Amino acid sequence: MDFLPIFVIIASVMTAVSVYLIYLVKKGINGIGFLLVLYLSGSMLTMFISLSIALSNTALTTEILALTVNTAYMIVGLVSILLLGASRRKIESRKWYTVLLFSLLMTISEAVMGESFYSILTKSIGNPLIGTENYWFYAVMLAEMTFTLVYSFNSLTRQIRNYLLVTLPIMVVSPVILPTFSIWLSSLLMIVATIIIYDTLYRDRLKKTQETFTSLELMLIFTLMMAGIFTYYVTSSWYLYDISMILGMTWFIYRAIQGPSSIKGNYLRDSRWTFAFVLMTFVMEWFMGAVLDFASSYFSPGVEGFISSLPLGFVNPFSYFGAGALFDFLSIFGSVTGSVWFLVMMGLEMGTLAIFRIKEVRLRENRIRLALMVSAFAIYAVYIPSFSPLASKIPYIPYMWSMGLGTLGPVSTDYLLSGIVGTYVLSAVLSFLFGSRQICSVTCTAPTMYQGTFYNSLKVYNRTSSFARKTLSSKLRPWYKLIAIAVWSSLLAFAVISYFDQKGILNITIFGNDPTMFLYSFYFNFLWYVVFISIPFSGNYACVTQGWCSWGTFNQFFGGLGLFRLKVKDPELCVKCETKACSKACPVGNTDLPGNFIKKGEFKSSRCIGVGDCAEACPYDNIMFYDVRSWLKEKIKGDKM
């Protein structure tokens, strides 16, 4: 028997009834009318549940069970309506819990409809969530969500309207029913959605309140969706993804009818909310990076395949008195954050926010630096080491062995002079000539993440966070020196061990890994992201202000010895300046900028990484950059005189 025409009719009727019920609830039907709406939405659910039970097999007991479920709902529902109606209680449909209940009933009804179709075709109930894994669910879902959005469009705020517009295509592009390429498309759409969420919050940063909790809700749904796809690759189960789809559609209908959450705030004034949002975003990005790694075959599917794909390996979690579990966590965490597709995904997201920032800056030097920064991320950090014809020769090329001794491999004789020593010598010379900005504001991946519109605005926490306030001014605190010394001591000690391992003199590894490569993964694939996520508590650019980055402290040291500094055209303007905007704009918290400008006419410090926000913020356009280019101009001008 051809069930297709029957399925089409049932799905069409289901869509029409659901759309009409959504219309009534959005319109604001109250009293007995709203109770009838809930009753009808619930009746569709029980009807499909009983249908699935009845059609799963032909046993008499099964049919009796299905009939009992349907009859019980009809009796209980009608009696409840009569009792509530007789009590004459005021029943309002626009309470948050009533709208949420209605939205959930609508979504589950569609999922159970899909399950009933599955039962008809297979004569079995099967996976209770199989209803979300077919075209029928997605077709009805698309129709209902589209109607809800169109009908509610004019009554929605700009923020919630944008959120719903970007969520709709993400919900439709499902890897459950579409080919593998949909994972790439879904990830791209989610990146676009994340950018829109960030940009929306940033544009409204001066408002007293924003849609903070609504933004967090949407990010949670995205996280569950990516976690669901990740779980599928590891366990071959779509359960978590199915749940995320049900929650996502429920949220969509609920927010389209109810509007944004009443819980509001401002991300520049509430560190706890900001931390929760940044953390949730990172978790979503981590799962997305892992999903792309699976899709690109960097990871092999299945538990065993995934474990065997980890670059650092996997050990017994109970080994070495529990240290094995810590290593396994680091290995899994760092394998994703250290992968090229994670960098590509972060580059698309953070790089776009940085491009938005280019449009806001007015000084040509700052626009050029930001453009170089985004280009360096794409070319220097991603293309050359991973996709270019030079990829296999990278360990031998100076200036490519960035961010530490263990970036590209063990400390062997083959790499020692050209790759490692050459990199440090060349970088030291560049920092001496141009300042540490050549790394900390251009070629390192960190500035692209720190200097986009949203994350750059988080430098407000340099002054409002109790811990970050201790890092203000260019003076290096004793604990900064201790952290930097500890990081460098460990790096050099592990490098020596690695070198002797390669020579055959020693055989010391960390769970089978070269010491420097393990340490690099710990510092740059794990600890750096912990520092990044903690911006609301530790302040912006904590890698610079707290000494955690060995590569940064190296270049900052030579930058402090070199030619780079900030100069002012007229120190008297700094005396008259009432705002001292330069010190407030500095992303690393160099609050002593005005004092140095007034006393010396310049500012020189190893902590100044040449971001240029101070020059951008100066109301008199009084601050200028000085490096080897300026020095050469002075020499040439002096010779001519």
Q: Is residue 376 included in any domain, yes or no?
A: yes
Report pLDDT for 329: 97
Q: Which amino acid is at 196?
A: I
Question: Is the distance from CB of 63 to CB of 54 less than 8 angstroms?
Answer: yes
Q: Residue 39: pLDDT above 90? A: no
* Domain end point (choices 115, 145, 175): 145
Pairwise CA distance, residues 164 & 154, whole Å: 13
| Alpha-carbon Rg for the chain in angstroms | 30
* Residue 50: predicted pLDDT: 75
Residues 6+ apart with CB under 8 A from 491: 404, 405, 406, 516, 519, 550
User: Considering only 42-56, 79-93, 326-340, 508-522, which range has the smallest mean pLDDT?
Assistant: 79-93
Looking at per-residue confidence, does 137 or 454 come out higher? 454
Confidence of residue 607 (pLDDT cuts 50, 70, 90): very high
Residue 257 lies in a domain: no
Average confidence (pLDDT) over 607-614: 95
448-485: pLDDT as tens digits? 999 999 999 999 999 999 999 999 999 999 999 999 99
Distances (CA, A) of 605 to 370, 430, 462: 22, 16, 18
What pLDDT sits at residue 94? Answer: 62
pLDDT at residue number 503? 93
Look at residue 28 in the predicted model and tell me its pLDDT: 79
Decide if pLDDT at 64 tops 70: no
Of the ranges 58-62, 204-208, 350-354, 542-546, which one carries the lowest mean pLDDT score? Answer: 58-62
Could you tell me whether strands 565-568 and 602-603 are parallel, antiparallel, or unpaired per DSSP bridges?
Answer: antiparallel
pLDDT at 216 over 80: yes
Query: What DSSP character marks residue 513?
Result: B
On whether residue 218 sits in a domain, the answer given is no
Q: Which two tokens stand for residue 612?
A: 């240029």
Q: Structure pTM?
A: 0.92
Give the residue among 481, 290, 516 at the shortest CA–CA distance from 408: 516
- What is the crossing angle of helices 158-172 and 239-258, to 10°? 150
Q: What is the pLDDT of residue 62?
A: 55
Tens-digit pLDDT profile for residues 273-285? 999 999 999 999 9
* Beta strands 602-603 and 623-626, pairing class: unpaired
Give the chain's largest Cα–Cα span: 108
| CA pair distance 501, 494, nearest whole angstrom | 10
**Residue 139: count of CB within 10 angstroms of its CB:** 17
pLDDT at 451: 95
At a CB cut-off of 8 Å and minimum separation 6, what does 552 contact?
436, 439, 440, 444, 543, 544
Q: Between 158-172 and 181-203, two packed helices, what is the crossing angle to 10 degrees?
A: 170
Q: What is the pLDDT of residue 407?
A: 85
Ranges 97-101, 296-300, 365-369, 606-610: which has the least confidence: 97-101
> Which of 490, 523, 557 is where one domain is finished?
557
The label of the residue with tokens 């949420």 reads 100
620 alpha carbon, distance to own chain's centre: 37
Give the tens place of pLDDT for each residue, 413-449.
999 988 999 999 999 999 999 999 999 999 999 999 9
Residue 199 lies inside a defined structural domain of this protein: no
| 190 part of a folded domain | no
Residue 60 has pLDDT above 60, yes or no: no
- pLDDT on residue 181: 83
Predicted confidence band of residue 128 (pLDDT cuts 50, 70, 90): low
> What mean pLDDT is predicted for residues 32-43?
78
Residue 37 structure tokens: 């709406």
Of all residues in the chain, what percent carry a pLDDT higher than 90?
A: 70
Instruction: Output the pLDDT for position 46.
Output: 80
Mean pLDDT taken over the chain: 89
The answer as to whether 456 is a domain residue is: yes
What pLDDT does residue 532 have? Answer: 95
Q: pLDDT band for position 61 (50/70/90)?
A: low
What's the pLDDT at 76? 67
Among 145, 172, 199, give the residue marking a domain's end: 145
The total of structural domains in the chain comes to 2
In a domain, 596, yes or no: no
Residue-level pLDDT at 90: 55
Q: Residue 59: which pLDDT band, with cuts at 50, 70 and 90?
A: low
Which pLDDT value is given to residue 541? 92
* Beta-bridge partner residues of 623: 568
Whether the per-residue pLDDT at 63 is higher than 60: the answer is no
What's the mean pLDDT in 179-190? Answer: 89
Dihedral sign, Cα of residue 410, residue 413, residue 417, residue 421: positive
* Residues 468, 522: Cα–Cα separation, whole Å: 23
How many residues does this entry show for the chain?
641
What is the Cα–Cα distance from 318 to 155, expressed in whole angstroms?
56
Q: What is the pLDDT of residue 43?
A: 80
Is 588 inside a domain boundary?
no
Closest CA to 132 of 232, 41, 269: 232
Domain range for 505: 310-557
